[in-house]
Structure 1
């Protein structure tokens, strides 16, 4: 039985036949504790009730033959006004094809009045409400997926633009400089000492170009992960971050071999990278700390800072940075916990068991 003692179970019955309404009301009262039943004799009355923002119903029971509207047109109008409230059609006509069609129009259930009883109506109320909850969750999930896909595409485009700028502005300029230097070198063929000095400067420019290519490649795919493992790659990440931001840093790594799948490693690296990016953008921190430990085959990665914590505007499911971390954690079967450690900063914890 539906218990509505704390929050009344509100039902709108749209029915012009007083006898049918009385019977429906009795069936509802038989199975629902203290329901709040409201009655509309016509579509116009139902429209007036549904238009009021304060009128939020758990279910709408709709007769298909009203004096001012009926059939498909009535269903379309009520669905449009329902604000995602489940609509159960009650009818005296046993038209199977129309019943199936009404379900495709958004109706939650289709009940024949001649077969109606308390148990059948109660089941329809429960099933319709649960289906609506599931449907709402699916719609919200789809909305989040679309939002994430859109933001991810934007992030990829921004990253491509960033790499293109670095290649064009820095690497391109270095290559142009090398070209001019080589042209100038031709003019120094009669001065061995000047040639030697020029060649040394060319070697330095080439070394700078090589270093830049390595840096760009490392941003795309950290080589340290493949060569030296995740802990050293994360230690390098934190130190580079501290160098760029001027923050002080501390890294504590358990001296234990780390055995993780490469996909897991790269995702953990990216989560930590995203955490550091959020710290730089929003935390107003002066100190960062990374702790890596293994307890009973479960690896723990903790990034913490001494900043102001996560702003409320970011602490939601569609914030790009947080959503990105959550999605990566989900993909590798890791647990992600983000805690505002007020009044001093944020703690981001990732736990993963290679054997799970």
Structure 2
């Protein structure tokens, strides 16, 4: 797509070459602003100004004050991300290759330039710049999501599961330095008995994707119970990797264990209430019945009263025990 209003800086010391380029630009674009600079220092002054913003820079490689690779590096430093297209009077394959490797968008031979070629080069450079900006934005978003996440995260090699990158939360949580992390595989953080299951999850084997809970080891040997989330990604212009995120569930599992222990205590208390308490209570009720039936026999009465007291004391001890257990029950 053509920009609505193209602003171009032409850095060219040859007046005839500049007029040729100017004519080609005006022929190709209806709305265009052209700034002509005859040497690097003049161009640098314009580019260093706050308002010195250009969509494209067309650069001759032989200027009175600077030339060649040195010139390219100098202009790249002050170009403010504007695409640079080199215009040269001779074909030099090595120079063209070096220029492109440094960040030049295109390399054109002056004698071969025509309106269509120049327009295509400019439009392509602008599209490529937008695409690069989008990639940079996505890369920056990835870095922010990765590095600023409060959860430990690893970037892994998709085949050997070597650690390619970690975020700050991982370094802080596991006690390894960045260099130490990059010398490890994610498998090194897990006990040997669960590594096959972890590999199955990393390669997306359905048989191993049911369980997400694993045990990881800190540098100091402390165990951490975690849930792992994994995602295969493409990064850095086509490279494959696996993102792994760990959620520490140690505290949750400890709570579950505590609740299970509390439930066991509750079962014991319930059993005591339903069985142990009923034994002396049944005896008490039986003794009362006997007293009611044999109230005329004083000797038997004293015996049953003694038994009644024993059962009452026994029941009192049981009740005290239940109360003590209930008071020591941690909610």
Q: TM-score, normalised by structure 1?
A: 0.47
Please name the residue that 1:60 is paired with. Answer: 57
Deviations 1:44-72 (A, max 9, x none): 01100100121211100000111111111
Of 90, 99, 104, the residue aligned with 1:107 is 104
Matched, 1:124 2:250: no
Residues 2 and 31, structure 1, Cα contact 8 Å, conserved in 2: no
Q: Secondary structure at the match of 1:53?
A: coil
1:88 counterpart (81, 85, 88):
85
Partner-residue secondary structure (3-state), 1:66: coil
Asked if the contact 1:61/1:89 (under 8 Å) is kept, the reply is yes
Cα distance between partner residues in 2 of 1:194 and 1:23? 107
Distance in 2 of aligned mates of 1:67 and 1:166: 72
Aligned partners of 1:15, 1:109: CA distance in 2, in Å? 16
Q: Distance in 1 between matches of 2:61 and 2:91?
A: 12
1:24 to 21, 24, 30: 21
Q: Map Cα deviations across residues 286-331 of structure 1 (whole Å, 9 max, x no partner).
A: xxxxxxxxxxxxxxxxxxxxxxxxxxxxxxxxxxxxxxxxxxxxxx
1:50 aligns to what? 47
The answer for the alignment partner of 2:10 in structure 1 is 13
Query: Matched residues in 2 for 1:143 and 1:3: separation?
Result: 26
Contact 1:3/1:33 (<8 A) preserved: no
State yes or no: 1:77 paired with 2:203. Answer: no
Q: Deviations over 1:100-131 (max 9, x none)?
A: 22111000000011211111111101100100
* Distance apart, 1:140 and its partner CA: 0.8
Q: Distance in 2 between matches of 1:192 and 1:52?
A: 91
Does 1:195 find its partner at 2:192? no
Partner of 2:161: none
1:60 partner SS: strand
Distance 1:53 1:154 in 2: 41
RMSD between superposed Cα atoms in Å: 3.7
**Contact kept? 2:11, 2:40, Cα under 8 Å:** yes
TM-score norm. by structure 2 comes to 0.51
Give, in whole Å, the separation in 2 of the partners of 1:162 and 1:114.
66
- Larger-gyration structure (1/2): 2
Runs of 5+ consecutive residues of structure 2 not aligned to the other structure: 154-168, 174-225, 227-245, 262-315
Q: Aligned partners of 1:11, 1:116: CA distance in 2, in Å?
A: 16
Measure how far apart 1:27 and its partner are. Answer: 0.7
4+ runs of 1 displaced by more than 3 Å?
A: 1-4, 153-172, 190-193
Q: Distance in 2 between matches of 1:49 and 1:97?
A: 30
Structure 1's 3 and 161: CA in aligned 2 closer, same or farther, altered over 3 A? closer
The equivalent residue for 2:237 is none
> Aligned-pair distance for 1:77?
1.1
Whole-angstrom distance in 2 between the partners of 1:72 and 1:153: 45
Cα drift, residue 170 of structure 1? 12
Post-superposition offset of 1:165: 7.1
- Relative distance call for 1:97 and 1:193 in structure 2 (3 A) is same
